[in-house]
Amino acid sequence: MSQFRYLSPDQIDDLFEHHRSWILGRPGGVRANFSLANLEGVDFGDRDLRSARFVGAHMRRCKLTAANLAGADLFCVDLRNADMRQTNLSKANLRGAKMRHSDCTEANFHGADLREGSLITRKRATAGPSMIGGSPTRPTEAHTETPNAVDLTGARLRHADLNEAVLISCWMQNADLSGAVLVNSNLTNCRLNGANLAGANLCGARLHNADLVGAKLTGCDLSQSDLSGARFSRCLDSVGLELQRVIYDHERWIDSYGSRGERADLDGADLCRVDLRDVNLSGASLRGVNLAEASLPHAQLAMADLSGADLSGANLAEADLSGANLSYANLQKADLSNSNLGPINIRDPSGQSTGRSWAANLTGADLRGAFLCGTCLMGADMTQAVTDSADFDGADLTDTRLPCHNTIELAHP
């Protein structure tokens, strides 16, 4: 049975009216409580819902354009793919919220709390939702939960107001923060791998131990920011001329269908934190390569041999890994969102299709905590793979060979 409660349109309108009366101090006014409600796709645009409660609510694809949610309790809410343009979320409690691929253009997060948080899983069905991570709860028997980081992966935050926002350990890889204002914000341990921070104002921001590998920092003044322990990309120039030549010759080999250049052999190479976005290493030998925390969005790695490679924390969003060999690779906390791990059509030396295909191999791969949202895994071999805490939301698992002890859970309201 779903943990979410269903509210009819009339019930939602009734909650709106009572909340409006509560804001205005009228008799009979009641603070709106949408906690644990299934509100997918509901239109909250232009509504005044200051201080309303949405704890644990399912709000995917909701329209919140120009809504006033200042001071609202949005603890562990699911706002993936929501329209939050110009939404007022100042001083809101957004701990543990999921906002992956949401549009927060010009939204106001001034002073918002975006730290970790998790709803407690209850054993007693009679008990209401409880929380860990700082929000009030009443005592009850419960399983221990690890707090979830706020997920803003791939979100659009152009010109958003994040002044004094608390974003500790927030996931913001591949997010668009161009022109955003983050004055005195706390981005400690924040994952900003591949994020666009061009023109952002980070005056006084704390970026202690932040992951800035592959981040775009054009026109971004970091002179007054705390960057202690922050990790930046290693540019390709830092890996040595020989490795650069190998990559260049491989791209020539690919473009000429093998008549020029040479197939890359980078077995065991140290490419940790190197910015390799858009690189074409299709068919390359990369066995045991160290690509930990490397930036590889949109990389072409079809048919590449990455067996035993260290790709922990790597950014592989929208990469082409069709037919790749990732057997026993370390992909812990790697971002494979919208990547292609499906089968590849085999072509002959002239580039013509042979009518045969080759599936991706993830046998024994360590995918703990990895992001595979929207990833194509058609026909992939995942036997013996470790998938604890991996996110497969929206992934295509058609004909996928899953682990015997399948721990894959697809989110459903």
pLDDT in tens, 92-132: 999 999 999 999 999 999 999 999 998 874 544 333 444 43
Q: CA–CA distance from 255 to each of 70, 261, 266, 280 (Å)?
A: 54, 9, 19, 10
Question: Where in the chain are the domains?
Answer: 249-413
Question: Which residues lie closer than 8 Å to 259 by C-beta, 6 or more apart?
Answer: none
pLDDT for res 120: 75
CA angle centred on 195, ends 294 and 166, rounded to 5°:
115
pLDDT for res 142: 32
Give 353's strand partners.
Answer: 347
Question: Which residues lie closer than 8 Å to 352 by C-beta, 6 or more apart?
Answer: none
Q: Residue 402: count other Cβ atoms within 10 Å of its Cβ.
A: 16
Tokens of 229: 């322990």
pLDDT for res 77: 97
pLDDT for res 354: 78
Q: CA–CA distance from 75 to each of 17, 27, 97, 99, 145 (Å)?
A: 23, 28, 6, 12, 15
Question: Which residues lie closer than 8 Å to 121 by C-beta, 6 or more apart?
Answer: 142, 143, 145
pLDDT for res 147: 82
Q: What residues of the chain score a pLDDT lower than 50?
A: 1, 121, 123-144, 412-413
Identity (one letter) of the amino acid at 376?
Answer: C
pTM metric for this prediction: 0.84
Closest CA to 95 of 23, 167, 30, 9: 167
CATH number of 249-413: 2.160.20
